[in-house]
Amino acid sequence: MRERRQGRSGLIVFSLFAFVLLGAIGATVLLANDYRNLNLLLARFGYAPIDAARATRELRPYELKGKRVPRPTGFISERLLTPETPSQARFVRTIRKAPEALCAALRAGGFENSGWKAGAFDASNWECQSTRDFPDSGDGEGGPSSAFLLMRGDAETHVSSFRIKLNIENPATRDHVTEAAARTIEIFLDEVHWQPAPDILADIRALKEFDLVRLGNRLQFKKETFSEAPRYNFTITPDRTRDRNSYLPDYFDRTQWLPLPKNLDVVR
């Protein structure tokens, strides 16, 4: 009995396997060529054929151009980046006024001078200088207060520096000295067509020290520390802290290459 049951079970399994195999072969034959054989069979028995034509649609723009690989996104370490600060202006304000005309304007403002001449010790350097006294009945042994003006150039037609020295020997004439200096500086700025500087003039009248850099020029007002009497110097000179002959952007500055974070501990 047991052998008969095993024989029947094997026959059933083989029959099912054969049925599935024949069904797969038959489906492949009927569905091939867009249901061609299946439609012939349906037509033979009076049934409507199956429409196997694919519906056409308008292609989208990205499909017309083809699929593109997305652009890769890169990440740069913070150590390789410098702080994003705007580059400083590279405009340099120069003195284009004729030196002889400047000397004449300063002479009209109260500082008598002999004009623009070559230096006594170096003929390649030109200068214009003047000294103005402010006498008073209360002057002591040091003499009256005075102001010394010196304008220099490295060529006959080029002004490179401007200086006024205030010697306040008598405190009673302090206001006269500072006002004359402020007025002379105002004349100079007007003659060279620079913008007015009321803040600078106010600091000079108040004998307040400052050190400014504006458009490639250094304006400094400083008190002499080695003198007993109050003596102050106001100067306008080119700013030499940076190379003004270079117009390269700041990213060519080697000191800005690969800066390390401030809080980074250096391992020794």
**Percentage, residues of the chain above pLDDT 90:** 34
| Residue 123 CB-density burial (10 A; 0-12 exposed, 13-18 middle, 19+ buried) | exposed
With vertex at residue 141, the alpha carbon angle to CA 138 and CA 144, rounded to the nearest 5 degrees, is 55
User: Is residue 10 predicted with pLDDT exceeding 70?
Assistant: yes
Please tell me the distance from the alpha carbon of residue 204 to that of residue 263, in angstroms, as a whole number: 42
Alpha helices per DSSP H over the chain: 2-44, 61-65, 99-108, 174-191, 198-205
Question: Where exactly are the structural domains of the chain?
Answer: 2-65, 99-238
Tokens of 21: 């195999």
Name the helix (H) or strand (E) containing 63.
Answer: helix 61-65
Q: Would the pLDDT of 174 be above 90? A: yes
Q: How far is CA 91 from CA 226, 247, 263, in A?
A: 37, 10, 35
pLDDT at 215 over 70: yes
Residues 135-153 have pLDDT tens digits of: 988 888 888 999 999 999 9
**How many CB atoms sit inside 10 A of residue 68's CB?**
7
Residue 176 pLDDT: 95
SS3 label, residue 84: coil
Based on the number of CB atoms within 10 Å of its own CB, is 237 exposed (0-12), middle (13-18) or buried (19 or more)?
middle
Q: Is the pLDDT of residue 121 over 70?
A: yes
pLDDT band at residue 262 using 50, 70 and 90 as cut-offs? low
**pTM score, whole prediction:** 0.57
More reliable by pLDDT, 267 or 112: 112
In a 13 Å sphere around the CA of 242, the CA atoms on its Cβ side amount to 19
What's the mean per-residue pLDDT of the chain? Answer: 79
Please report the pLDDT score of residue 58 as a whole number.
72
Residue closest to 142 by CA, chosen among 178, 173, 179, 163: 173
Structure tokens at 174: 């302090």
12-63 confidence digits (pLDDT tens): 888 888 888 888 887 787 777 777 777 787 777 777 777 766 666 676 666 6
pLDDT at 257 over 60: no
pLDDT at 91: 64
Residue 132 has pLDDT above 70, yes or no: yes
Does pLDDT of 111 surpass 70?
A: yes
Rounded Cα–Cα distance for residues 263 and 227 (Å):
45
